[in-house]
Amino acid sequence: MTTPIDRFRLALAQLNPIMGDIAANLAMARKARAEAAALGADVVMFTELFLAGYPAEDLVLRPAFQDACRRACEDLARDTADGGPAVLIGLPWNEDGKVYNAYAVLDAGAVAAVRFKVDLPNYGVFDEKRVFAAGPLPGPVSLRGLRLGLPICEDIWSEEVVECLAETGSEILLVPNGSPYWHDKMLERYNIAAARVTETGLPMAYLNQVGGQDELVFDGASFILNGDASLAGQFRAFAETVELTEWRREPQGWRCVAAPREVVEEGEQADYAACVLGLRDYVEKNGFPGVVLGLSGGIDSALCAAMAVDALGSERVHCIMLPYRYTSSESLDDAAACAKALNVRYDILPIASAVEGLEAALAPLFVGTPRGVTEENLQSRARGTMLMSISNKFGAMVVTTGNKSEMSTGYATLYGDMNGGYNPIKDLYKTEVYRLSALRNGWKPKGALGPDGEVVPANILVKAPTAELREGQKDQDSLPPYDVLDDILIGLVEEELRVAEIVARGHDEATVKKVERLLYLAEYKRRQSAPGVKVTRRNFGRDRRYPIVNRFRDTGAPAHVPEAGMDRARGAARADAIDF
């Protein structure tokens, strides 16, 4: 029997694994273990599915992928024969024909134990029931004189798993997570973790992944709660780190007595940092040498340019102004000022010959028809083609710059301004774009590579937004004012409110119905849009899946009250159920 101990040193590896690069993730784990050993750690802990990357989606179903992860796990297990820190690490685990989201305990040269995730999330961005089998309720793992409870991520979001671990003798809860960022997510995590700690009296180390994976950003921000739910440690957000924590057995149980206490970004600062990290990792992990984007002199492209420079550095960002006859001198001046402030390469490529060539080619079919949106959109499509051609020639990825207000209402051109590989502001409403631009002019996140001070020229923040596709055009010619539009969209998209409920907020019913109609009609465009950073609770894509063919429209009627006498079947499903 292992002799109980009264001191314990745990290293937490808050790192950025690369999806599917199992060799790189193994090397990262080995490096972190060596750091932990140098710090004097007894155990080093990694995040959920670390060896694979998270979320691996249907890649988990490939037997060759499962095999590669298991081989890496066994290789790392062999390393622990050196007497250094034991390892806790996540990977997919095939057993008896089922694949589990597993957490392995590696010590003394072998896989000493393994635990399977019980509560598989299947909502919002998560779809784990599609690829994993649910594990049985776990008991604690005995490791170096300790009984450790190892609930995996979602396992702490309800009481059952943690209650089982407490009742079977766990002394400390170590929780590996792949918890993606969205606005104010930290408060939710604290509340959930504090509830489990309060129910059990057990301290908890909550370790979260950091980094971008497609549309998701993992913010790290790992933390430790003692058994009285007090905060014992807080790690940095949006940054990798390996930190030593020290624990002591006291009369009331184990207590963390030494851990880092960092300040984490919150609110709009966290939103901005998430957009920068998501863009950086998408570019880096896909191997692009840099990015190129159209700099129009408007707020959206200016903010995207600032984010790109903060993510990659000015030398890897190429901005191009693509003017036409409707492009104002003000826009030309603002775009040049933005490029100068960011110290990026800036070129001007007029599009007149491209637009006029397309119009000439189409003239035989368009003869006798009035000019309109079709001709206006040729400008956007010419710009999109030119940017994509530059990308094809030189390898830089096109950053597309449409905001969530535009993506919601279809105020964007397919195969034009929607062209691109990634969009850092896809999940920011227009009013948020303005707020984050003003924020960035007075602050930048830790580790950002861009300059201090004003990077979005002041004039861009105050002038009326316009696509400049015709003389004197303004966005509000086609859309409600953005403060009105965004509040309606938040009601429709984030909150799934009835039209009547949004009208009750003080909005005009006809305007709300118009916005709802535009929202539904633009679904086909959103299906073809570039991926972008998830910032809100409900982004387009993973969180909100609506049919393209859809004739439903909310009539504006209030909530339905079932007619008296018509609900005689209520409870019938339960009453008629057969209990074997």
The pLDDT value recorded for residue 574 is 58
Residue among 35, 48, 265, 268 flagged as catalytic: 48
Q: Please determine, for residue 572, whether its predicted confidence score (pLDDT) is greater than 70.
A: no
Q: Does 172 belong to an annotated binding site? A: no
Q: What percent of the chain has pLDDT over 70?
A: 96
For residue 225, pLDDT over 90 is answered with yes
Topology adopted by domain 269-527: Rossmann fold (3.40.50)
Average the pLDDT over 288-303 and give the result.
Answer: 96
Question: Is 256 a catalytic site residue?
Answer: no
Q: Which CATH number fits domain 7-264: 1.10.510.10, 3.60.110.10, 3.40.720.10, 3.40.30.10?
A: 3.60.110.10
The stretch 488-512 carries a mean pLDDT of 94
| Phi, psi for residue 452 in degrees, rounded to 5 | -75, 165
> How far is the CA of 18 from the CAs of 34, 49, 53, 286, in angstroms?
20, 11, 6, 10
Q: Is 298 annotated as a binding residue?
A: yes
Say how far apart CA 198 and CA 188 lie, in whole Å: 15
pLDDT at 56 over 90: no
* Res 543 pLDDT > 90: no
- Residue 295 labelled as part of a binding site: yes
The answer to whether residue 470 scores a pLDDT higher than 80 is no
Task: Tell me the whole-structure pTM to 2 decimals.
Answer: 0.92
Helices (H), 85-244: 159-167, 185-200
Say what the pLDDT of residue 106 is: 98
pLDDT at 295 exceeding the cut of 90: yes
Number of residues in the chain: 580
The pLDDT assigned to 129 comes to 82
Among residues 514, 335, 561, 526, which one has the least CA distance to residue 418? 526
Residue 360 has a pLDDT of 95
80 known ligand binder: no
3-state helix, strand, coil in the chain (%, to 5): 40, 20, 40
Known catalytic residue at 95 = no
**Range(s) of the chain covered by CATH 3.60.110.10:** 7-264
Tell me, what amino acid is at 258? A
Which of 35, 69, 73, 117 is an active site residue? 117
Q: Is omega for the bond preceding 176 within 30 degrees of 0, making it cis?
A: no
- Residue 164 known to be catalytic: no
Mean pLDDT of the chain: 92
Q: Residue 182, by phi and psi: left (phi above 0), alpha (psi -120 to 50) or beta?
A: beta
CA gap 299, 363 in Å, rounded: 34
Q: How far apart are CA 316 and CA 311, in angstroms?
A: 10
Tens digit of each residue's pLDDT (9 = 90 or more) over 72-99: 999 999 999 999 999 999 999 999 999 9
Q: Over the stretch 169-206, which tens digit does the pLDDT of each residue have?
A: 999 999 999 999 999 899 999 999 999 999 999 999 99
From the candidates 69, 73, 153, 275, give the one annotated as an active-site residue. 153
pLDDT for 215 = 93
pLDDT at 254: 94
Confidence of residue 537 (pLDDT cuts 50, 70, 90): confident
pLDDT reading at 425 higher than 90: yes
CB 188 within 8 A of CB 165: no
Q: Please check if 391 is assigned to a binding site.
A: no
> Is 296 annotated in some ligand binding site?
yes
Within the chain, all domains assigned CATH 3.40.50.620 are found at 269-527
